[in-house]
């Protein structure tokens, strides 16, 4: 059998390690395909394992997708979309596609809690993991956060629980397998990743795969106030539990995690105690720094708060962040790469938020976003563009200092509403660079 691992990042490396040890794939000829150029040392983990005498074949560089039809089975990494012409050609030629996620579901002996949504997956998954852990559950966290799921298999048994944070790209492969989560959680769903999905329908269909094969003795949790979350839940044969939380914001996802934990028998006092200690995740409404500003002839100091919300790669997520600070003077830093999304809803939120004093735009789509903002009739609103990210942060900081009145405060919110790949490695790299700039600002 000829097997290809398509994409060789975190999940691809975990998959290679698993395939080498698996009796099921004994004797298979494995190739690693990746657009990036790797050094030999980075792509040659110890061989070992059943049936392997040679290192995998490596196909790197811009032509890595050529000749996919030569393989019998291709494991696709989540970052490589199905809508690529080379992949569609291979499918038409009868090549079977799978993924590390599908393989994990097929082999996992444990009970799986699958969590998906457009945003909030990481926060909900991590908080639920902490609650269950504090309640004594044999629980593991995997997927986009935690360990790669396949790495957990040797530790799992029928009494274990695994919380999987799942993206639309990971869920695309679950359509053709009967494997399913014991518990599914569908968070807020709204348009996203339209640069990588054929259309909006394909995106929603991928999310719905989490519910598709559930049985009567399973359960699915969803948000009552989100039509698409509710619609996906109807596709499940399991028990349906609707949740009403606060509109937008982290607390809504806290409610989801707490409700699932209570359903599984966690005592209320332990749930509350864990939530009180939970500080949230990095790059998600993360308070980076508070600057105290003393003004002449006044004893009281004013404050400038810097928030890092780099994980906001979607306009609606940034709208939620703006809504969170609706009563406070605010400066928004936004921009990056568009994922095929509409920024009208962001412009509406900025128009309605009377306390936004400045919008600083940077990145590939700064002109595009500005077009939506120029018609806003608000004499106090400043709209500015900068090419350099560090300059953008320094400009808004100086603007905030000059705009402060005694005993007041300003929020500087970095919530890009866009993908990061125009200027950064990923959203985490973008957030880390923002934090570094902020921490180095001279008061």
Fold topology of 286-439: 3.90.190
Question: Which residue(s) pair with 287 in the sheet?
Answer: 307
Find out whether 39 is annotated in a ligand binding site. Answer: no
pLDDT of the residue at 69: 94
Distance CA 24, CA 439 (A): 51
Contacts of 331 (CB under 8 A, 6+ apart): 356, 357, 358, 359, 360, 396, 399, 400, 410, 411, 412, 413
- Cα distances from 433 to residues 140, 144, 390, 397, in angstroms, run 30, 21, 9, 16
Q: What is the pLDDT of residue 31?
A: 95
Residue 259: the pLDDT is 95
Question: Does 121 show up as a binding residue in the annotation?
Answer: yes
123 annotated binding-site participant: yes
Is the four-CA dihedral 4, 7, 9, 10 of positive or negative sign? negative
119 is in an annotated binding site: yes
Q: Quick one: pLDDT at residue 49?
A: 41
Is 245 annotated in a binding site? The answer is no
pLDDT at 119: 83
Residue 218: the pLDDT is 98
- Contact indicator for 311, 336 with CB cutoff of 8 Å: no
CATH architecture of 101-277: 3-Layer(aba) Sandwich (3.40)
Q: Is 363 annotated as a binding residue?
A: no
Residue 54: predicted pLDDT: 57
- Helix 315-324 and helix 249-263: axis angle, to 10°? 100
Query: Are 17 and 45 in contact, with CB atoms under 8 Å apart?
Result: yes
Domain map of the chain by residue range? 2-98, 101-277, 286-439
N residues, the chain: 443
Q: Is 144 helix (H, G, I), strand (E, B) or coil?
A: coil
What's the pTM?
0.85
CA-CA-CA-CA torsion for 5, 7, 13, 18, nearest 10 degrees? -30
Fold topology of 2-98 = Rossmann fold (3.40.50)
Contact criterion met (CB below 8 Å) for 117 and 186 = yes
Note the pLDDT of residue 169: 84
- For residue 3, give the DSSP letter: E
What sign for the dihedral angle of Cα 113, 119, 122, 128?
negative
Q: Which residues pair with 163 in a beta bridge?
A: 113, 141
pLDDT score for 45? 44
Query: Has 318 been labeled as part of a binding site?
Result: no
pLDDT tens sequence for the chain (443 residues): 999 999 998 899 999 999 999 999 999 999 999 988 665 544 444 433 444 445 788 989 889 999 999 999 999 998 888 888 999 999 999 999 999 999 999 999 999 999 999 888 999 999 999 999 999 999 999 988 878 999 999 999 999 999 999 988 889 888 777 889 999 999 998 865 555 556 778 888 889 999 999 999 999 999 999 999 999 999 999 999 999 866 444 478 999 999 999 999 999 999 999 999 998 899 999 999 999 987 766 677 899 999 999 999 999 899 989 998 988 999 999 999 998 888 999 999 999 988 999 999 999 999 999 999 988 888 889 999 999 999 999 999 999 999 988 888 999 999 999 999 999 999 999 999 999 999 999 87
Look at residue 407 in the predicted model and tell me its pLDDT.
Answer: 81
Give helix 427-439 / helix 389-403 axis angle, nearest 10°.
Answer: 50
What is the per-residue pLDDT for 55? 72
Contact 416, 318 (CB under 8 A): yes
> What is the structure's pLDDT at 324?
87
**Residue 61 phi/psi, 5° resolution?**
105, -175
Short-list 222, 168, 159, 226, CA closest to 197: 168
């Amino acid at each position: 059998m000829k097997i290809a691992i398509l994409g060789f990042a975190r999940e691809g490396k975990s998959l290679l390690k698993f395939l080498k040890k698996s009796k099921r794939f004994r004797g298979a000829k494995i190739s690693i395909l990746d657009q990036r150029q790797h050094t030999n040392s980075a792509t040659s983990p110890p061989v070992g394992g059943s049936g392997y005498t040679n290192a995998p074949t490596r196909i790197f560089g811009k032509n890595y997708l050529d000749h996919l039809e030569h393989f019998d089975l291709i494991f696709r990494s989540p970052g490589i979309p199905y809508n690529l012409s080379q992949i569609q050609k291979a499918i038409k030629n009868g090549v079977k596609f799978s993924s590390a996620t599908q393989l994990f579901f097929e082999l996992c002996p444990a009970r799986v809690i699958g969590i998906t949504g457009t945003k909030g997956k990481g926060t909900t998954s991590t908080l639920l993991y902490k609650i269950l852990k504090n309640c004594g559950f044999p629980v593991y966290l995997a997927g986009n956060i935690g360990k790669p799921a396949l790495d957990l298999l040797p530790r799992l048994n029928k009494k274990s629980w695994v919380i999987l944070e799942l993206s639309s790209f990971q869920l695309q492969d679950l359509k053709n397998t009967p494997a399913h989560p014991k518990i599914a959680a569908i968070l807020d769903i709204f348009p996203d990743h339209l640069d990588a999905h054929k259309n909006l329908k394909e995106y929603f269909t991928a999310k719905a795969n989490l519910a598709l094969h559930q049985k009567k003795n399973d359960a699915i949790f969803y948000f009552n106030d989100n039509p698409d979350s509710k619609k996906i839940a109807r596709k499940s044969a399991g028990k349906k539990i609707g949740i009403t939380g606060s509109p937008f914001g982290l607390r809504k996802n806290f409610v989801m995690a707490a409700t699932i934990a209570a359903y599984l028998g966690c005592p209320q006092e332990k749930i509350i105690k864990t939530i009180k200690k939970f500080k949230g995740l990095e790059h998600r409404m993360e308070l980076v720094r508070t600057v105290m500003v003393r003004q002449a002839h006044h004893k009281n100091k004013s404050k400038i708060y810097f928030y890092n919300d780099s994980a906001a790669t979607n306009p609606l997520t940034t709208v939620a962040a703006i809504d969170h600070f609706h009563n406070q003077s605010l400066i928004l830093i936004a921009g990056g790469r568009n994922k095929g999304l509409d920024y009208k809803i962001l412009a509406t939120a900025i128009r309605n938020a009377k306390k936004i004093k400045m919008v600083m735009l940077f990145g590939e789509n700064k002109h595009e976003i500005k077009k939506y903002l120029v018609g806003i009739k608000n004499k106090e609103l400043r709209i500015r563009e900068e090419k350099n990210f560090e300059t953008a942060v320094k400009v808004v900081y100086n603007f905030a200092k000059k705009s402060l009145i005694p005993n007041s405060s300003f929020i500087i919110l970095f919530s890009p509403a866009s993908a990061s790949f125009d200027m950064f490695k990923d959203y985490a790299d973008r957030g880390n660079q923002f934090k570094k700039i902020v921490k180095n600002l001279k008061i």
